[in-house]
């Protein structure tokens, strides 16, 4: 079972996740600050990724809408992959696929069954992996809202590309979600975050939660 730890924002949490056995690390990035070379966060992420051991993937998890912006950011930080969280349209997704050899994860919002199926079948020829996630309050991913595992199971059964599940996963519900859906990978952010008044933005991860999550996933 592949494990992606997402929402990493600092070197300490990144190194911990890698040491504990994560297969991929996700950095939520992308805004209006261009060029990316002057964005401090991009510089930090680039430095963190440069130290990853061979075999550990790094993904920019981006809500950017333009292909040039997405590629500028991914190429600058030297990530091995790109996670496209927004519906940028098939034409732009096709262009992104043509212009990069980086691994592409495309998020499929799990809501309405018919639309989710249509999106999955449209996206999968243009990506390496699909990620089934939730949308809440205008945000895709990182919401902590639990996914519809029954619908996820149906989507995984018809997919021809490897599928990650996400959406409200925690060490406590991971086994049940995997048993219900039988995915190729699992993705977590909020479910391994640490909550305290010093970290109200949820930008720190809990070592014990990561350890437990990875152990459960790898034991599946």
pLDDT at 126: 97
Distance CA 132, CA 93 (A): 17
The count of domains in the chain is 1
pLDDT tens-digit readout, 148-185: 999 999 999 999 999 999 999 999 999 999 999 999 99
- Find tokens 């952010």 and name the residue: 189
What region, left, alpha or beta, does residue 154 occupy, with left being phi > 0 and alpha being psi -120 to 50 degrees?
alpha
Report pTM.
0.91
Residue 207's domain spans which residues? 2-218
Task: Give dist(CA 204, CA 69) in Å, integer.
Answer: 27
Write the DSSP symbol of residue 199.
G
Instruction: For residue 29, name the pLDDT band (cuts at 50, 70, 90).
Output: confident
What are the tens digits of pLDDT across the range 72-98? 999 999 999 999 988 899 999 999 999
pLDDT at 146: 82
Give the CATH number for residue 178: 3.20.20.70
Q: Mean pLDDT, to the nearest integer, of 197-214?
A: 82
> Is pLDDT larger for residue 11 or for residue 111?
11
CA–CA distance, 119 with 79 (Å, rounded to integer): 25
**CA-to-CA distance for 124 and 128, rounded, in angstroms?**
7
What is the rounded CA–CA span in Å between residue 217 and residue 204? 21
Average pLDDT of 184-188? 97
* Whole-number Å distance between alpha carbons of 79 and 60: 7
Cα(109)–Cα(117) distance, integer angstroms: 10
Do the strands 81-84 and 2-5 form a parallel or antiparallel pair, or are they unpaired?
Answer: unpaired
């Amino acid at each position: 079972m592949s494990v992606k730890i997402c929402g990493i924002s600092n070197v300490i949490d990144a190194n911990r996740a890698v040491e504990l056995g994560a297969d991929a690390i996700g950095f939520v990035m992308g805004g209006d600050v261009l060029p990316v070379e002057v964005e401090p966060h991009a510089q930090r992420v680039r430095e963190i990724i440069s130290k990853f051991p061979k075999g550990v993937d790094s993904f920019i998890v981006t809500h950017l809408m333009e292909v040039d912006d997405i590629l500028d950011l991914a190429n600058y930080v030297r990530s091995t992959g790109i996670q496209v969280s927004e519906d940028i349209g098939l034409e732009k997704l096709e262009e992104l696929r043509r212009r990069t050899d980086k691994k592409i994860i495309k998020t499929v919002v799990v809501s309405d069954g018919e639309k989710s199926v249509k999106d999955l079948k449209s996206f999968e020829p243009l990506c390496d992996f699909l990620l089934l996630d939730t949308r809440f309050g205008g945000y895709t991913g990182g919401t902590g809202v639990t996914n519809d595992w029954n619908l996820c199971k149906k989507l995984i059964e018809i997919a021809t590309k490897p599928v990650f599940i996400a959406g409200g996963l925690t060490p406590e519900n991971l086994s049940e979600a995997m048993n219900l859906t039988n995915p190729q990978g699992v993705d977590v952010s909020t479910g391994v975050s640490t909550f305290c008044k010093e970290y109200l933005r949820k930008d720190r991860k809990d070592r014990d939660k990561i350890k437990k999550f990875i152990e459960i996933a790898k034991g599946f």
